[in-house]
Structure 1
């Protein structure tokens, strides 16, 4: 199931990667630094409300589908999840009233309200995606993801050209989600046909999902506190510089981690439900090896090409500062991705999501404290130093606490191989002069990728050669049949 998802979600990965970079290219040019800061803050508010109110319900859909679907086709489960979604919508008007009452600049207030308007359609689509992923319906989940991603960018760019300011990308996201609804409402209604809404189920789902949501709120605190504090101690322009560099690194890595997570999470649940702990251990080790071999060099490469990439992708007003931000966030993004998409799986697999909340409280609290201490004294640099330190603490806490739920294997040899090959890649790239722009980026990216792939192939890291041969034989056998 994992490799089917890896292949099936690859187009989504490509679209997200391209759109993520185009978002930075377009909006750092179409928006002023202050407007880009408004967009960053509006996006953070949208994510916070979505996570605080709706995510526990989405998490329940994903985690319990594999078990519930063998009973009645999942009708009771699906009906209960969607009824809970309808009840939760009441929180959005309250959030909008609060946003209107708060003292904010007109541009920021519009961006925040646009973000809140995006939540309802996005959460409905998200529930539908989670059900499809859990059921192994890769194509349906992938199409929804690509439609929202590509449509949101194109519409957002159009509204930015029309002068809507920092709210433009968020309005585009809302309309793209609304456009997906006609394609999924009928099928989701059929899925819950005859299902009973049970209050006891909602209680059980909340007991599982609320700690997940609270942990994600802490993750948002971890990833967005620095923006609000930069705004408070400096200004929106500083937020724009930071968000541009942060997005350049984090989105590039996040695309890879989300891709692997979309394939890996449901596969681990299915392995545990159908094959028990032995099957889970095999599946988890395989996923961890593949994840390390992809993401360690990706983070290293981003740090190595930060300046030419920023010159090429980010508007002139933000490029210099963003290039300084990117290497720090590349390292932070690696730590965050490994924590979220591997070590956090232990808590959801073992249904001990209370430990997940504790694990996330450690880095979130550290991030707030470090930013409050360092930003007033060191400005933007203070935020840069706080971020990797906080994520490092988060990874350590999650790895240790996760052993109390499900002991996921750590492939130390593969980690050493990925780090060693990345070090050789960095040595080769460091020999290339800083020409600047596209030429430097192309030379360093090509040389780095060639060196890394050659080293990994030579030592057969993670047994990729043998797995590739097995996959090829399977493909040929199926084609012949």
Structure 2
């Protein structure tokens, strides 16, 4: 498998992923100013619950679309796949909403003040899952332009609707979720002509549904465990210390993990599909070569991002957040950036080894073990140390998951770490961190732009001086043949 195809996928998916990062940070900046710390803490918990529910109830369907679409390219097969998946997703969504209404009717006083937030969370879950089916189909069929346009449009619309509703609704967190739900509902309306062309009542297939379930449920379990590992500490913080700690931690995670997760997801999504094809057509060695190149790229991109977030923690918190968040989030950012880095390599790189070989049960086992470590450590450390205890627990859990995934990986896919490039990248990041901290930029637009520019320039110069990942040869080759 040629790396040119991988580079093409990276380039094609870049605009949508960058816009998602900008919208995510924009939502953080807006909502942290419109909501109190308690309201924002409730919003973080609701958003986390929405993702957990979506992965538990719908991910086995959406992930199966991505997996089965390359196999079912004939029109009749494609209609069978989409009809089966959309019908099942609709049944699950209606059952979920019906259960919520039924419980509310039976226990009208049980939900109390959280009733609007619960219904907004469930509505967002259903609308997003239904929209994601089409998005996964477009991406699997390499309709990257359509995928990028729809995904970018719904992200922008969700932020716009959410801002208007929250600003007029006294900062109540459910309005932010209603804004995203409306945006995904709008995506479904725009995509409706394509959906209707691919739906046929007679194409619903029970045998196909059984195959989808057999493939999808182990991956759904892995996703739920992965999400639980990433979010358990927030629920425990809320229970053991209060919603204010959740708000600070959630804001720090949104700033640090969002850009890192976008970068990891961008490179991982472009890598995994090509690795599947290489594994099936050319064997395990070809897939291994693509994964090795992805590892070097991830190191070159995500390590300086994490160091840059740590170096600019104070100006970022000052610029992005309301005054009551500034100091607390600035203190958390360097550590949360480390967690985001560990999480990205665990979820978007080492886990792909198990997907390539089909050993999804073993993958679930690594997440289950890490979740157990995280739960035990949080119960011990949060009451004693508060937020620092939650951070230490997260680091310990992801290190556990990484060690297990490396140890249990298939022998043919165990890659030697590029030690020399790792040492050079660490030195370049360390020098960049020192330069940015020494210059002490302000928390304004100009200060942040100057800080980012100084970081990129210093990192780039040191990387060129050290010839990190053969960068001199790559630049010389690009200058000699611009079309390459």
State TM-score, norm by structure 2: 0.91
Contact 2:60 2:220 survives alignment (8 Å): yes
Separation (CA, whole Å) in 1 of partners of 2:103 and 2:445: 42
Give 3-state SS (helix, strand or coil) of 2:436's partner. helix
Matching residue within 336, 340, 345 for 1:338: 345
Counterpart contact for 2:370–2:401, Cα < 8 Å: yes
Note the 1:313-332 alignment, pairs <5 A: 313-332=320-339
Q: Distance in 2 between matches of 1:265 and 1:467?
A: 24
Distance change >3 Å, CA 118–CA 310, structure 1 → 2: same
Q: Determine whether 1:453 maps to 2:457.
A: no
Q: Report the counterpart of residue 145 of structure 1 in structure 2.
A: 151
Query: 1:169 corresponds to which residue?
Result: 176
Farther-moved stretch of structure 1 (458-467 vs 314-323) = 458-467
* Inter-CA distance 148–89: structure 2 relative to 1 (3 Å threshold): same
Conservation of the 8 A alpha-carbon contact between 2:32 and 2:321: yes
- 2:302 is equivalent to residue 298 of structure 1: no
Give the structure 1 partner of residue 100 of structure 2. 96
Matched, 1:81 2:85: yes
Gaps of 5+ in 2: none
Counterparts of residues 251-266 of structure 1 (less than 5 Å): 251-266=258-273
> By how many angstroms is 1:225 displaced?
1.4
CA contact (8 A) 1:156 1:169 kept: yes
Q: Is the counterpart of residue 155 in structure 1 residue 161 in structure 2?
A: yes
1:69 is paired with a residue whose SS is coil
How far, CA to CA, are the matches of 1:5 and 1:89 in structure 2? 33
* Runs of at least 5 residues in structure 1 that lack an aligned partner in the other structure: none
Q: Per-residue deviation at 1:377?
A: 1.5
Report if the CA contact (8 A) 2:357-2:410 is conserved. Answer: no
Task: Give CA deviations for 1:264-323 in whole Å, capped at 9, x if unaligned.
Answer: 222222322333323212222222211111001101111111111101111011121111
Q: Distance in 1 between matches of 2:132 and 2:413?
A: 27
Which of 195, 218, 242 lines up with 1:188 in the alignment? 195
Query: Of 203, 217, 235, which residue of structure 1 is paired with 2:224?
Result: 217
Residues 20/411 of structure 1: CA separation in 2 closer, same or farther (3 Å cut): same
SS of residue in 2 equivalent to 1:136: coil
Distance 1:473 1:189 in 2: 50
Asked whether the equivalents of residues 9 and 270 of structure 2 are also in contact (C-alpha less than 8 Å), the reply is yes
Shift of residue 466, structure 1, vs aligned partner? 4.6
Change (3 A) 1:183 1:384: same
Q: Distance in 2 between matches of 1:362 and 1:266?
A: 27
1:430 alignment counterpart: 437
Does the 8 Å contact 2:285/2:412 carry over to 1?
no
Is residue 37 of structure 1 aligned with residue 10 of structure 2? no
Q: Distance in 1 between matches of 2:77 and 2:386?
A: 55
RMSD of aligned alpha carbons? 2.6
User: Would you say 1:9 and 2:13 are equivalent positions?
Assistant: yes
* More displaced 10-residue stretch of structure 1: 252-261 or 266-275: 266-275
Cα distance in structure 2, aligned partners of 1:88 and 1:465: 54
Q: CA deviation at 1:193?
A: 5.3
Q: 2:213 aligns with which of 200, 206, 209?
A: 206
Separation in structure 1 between the aligned mates of residue 145 and residue 480 of structure 2, nearest angstrom: 24
- Please point out which of 124, 135, 141 is paired with 1:118: 124
Determine helix, strand or coil for the equivalent of 1:344. Answer: helix
Q: Give the CA deviation at 1:91.
A: 3.9
- C-alpha contact (below 8 Å) 1:30/1:160 kept by paired residues: yes
For residues 259 and 236 of structure 2, what CA distance do their matches in structure 1 show?
A: 24
Instruction: Decide whether the 8 Å contact of 1:63 with 1:269 is kept in 2.
Output: no
Instruction: Give CA deviations for 1:242-268 in whole Å, capped at 9, x if unaligned.
Output: 111111111121221222233222222
Deviations 1:367-425 (A, max 9, x none): 11111111111122211221222112122222222326854664444333322221221
**1:233 alignment partner in structure 2:** 240
- Residue 269 of structure 1 corresponds to 276
Q: Please report how far the alpha carbon of residue 132 of structure 1 lies from its aligned counterpart in structure 2 after TM superposition.
A: 1.7
Are the structure 2 counterparts of residues 349 and 475 from structure 1 closer, same or farther at C-alpha, using a change threshold of 3 Å? Answer: farther
The answer on whether the counterparts of 1:308 and 1:438 sit within 8 Å (CA) in structure 2 is: no
CA distance 1:404–1:444, shift in 2 (3 Å): same
- In structure 2, what is the Cα distance between the partners aligned to 1:278 and 1:72? 34
Shift in Å, 1:473: 7.6
Deviates more, 1:83-92 or 1:29-38: 83-92
TM-aligned CA deviation for residue 10 of structure 1 = 1.6
1:46–1:112 Cα contact (<8 Å) kept: no
The answer (yes or no) to whether the contact 2:371–2:397 under 8 Å persists in 1 is yes
Cross-structure match for 1:289: 296
CA change 1:344–1:272 in 2 (3 A) is same
> What's the offset of the Cα at 1:42?
0.9
**CA deviation profile, 1:142-201 (whole Å, cap 9, x unmatched):** 112101211111111111111151112111110000111122222234345598433232
Asked if 1:244 is matched to 2:242, the reply is no
- Give the Å deviation of 1:337: 0.8
